[in-house]
Structure 1
Amino acid sequence: MSTSADNKAGDRSDAGRQETIGGMLASALNMEDEISSGVYEDYLNRRHWPNELEEATFLNIQRRLTVLIDDTRKHKKILRALVREHGENK
């Protein structure tokens, strides 16, 4: 079983860990971008939905997706702050 001491063991420098952390955080930020623009925002457009979908249903979906988009923006801000704090070589 791995412990936090095991994870910190080895001869990796802080710079190496920062690059790894920075890369992981950058990947997370990219995932947030893909989710937001590739999924949520595309489905805000009425033409991506079947014509038979009732307008009230679409508006409900749109309202809920907007909440997810807003949450994703918050996630991006958090990830950018983490990159600034922990992911850059200092």
Structure 2
Amino acid sequence: MLVSNVMDEIRTEQAKENWLAYWKHFSRCQDQYCAEVNCLNPQHHGVLVKTQRAGDAEIYVIPMCKDHSDNFTSLFEIADNTEIVPASYTL
């Protein structure tokens, strides 16, 4: 699945770690790896994304490793089994 980065201004380590905690809280997935389709690095950040599905305007959170999160500027392919969590949930 292709996704695009939503918010470049959320670049602090604390914000990315908080989004990862959010993803872990709402996700049913036990996977501990980056969502990038070929990456086997552990998760370090949560990233806000939009899907490329027609008519889907929702913002989602996905887990990523530090390297992919820090260099995520355009379209990105994530594994099809990655659980994308809507960013609109409340704690």
Which TM-score bucket, shorter chain as reference? under 0.3
Q: Which has the higher helix share?
A: 1
TM-score calculated relative to the size of structure 2: 0.26
Answer 1 or 2: which has greater strand percent: 2
TM-score computed with the length of structure 1 as normaliser: 0.27
Larger radius of gyration: 1
Higher relative contact order by CA 8 Å / sep ≥ 6: 1 or 2? 1
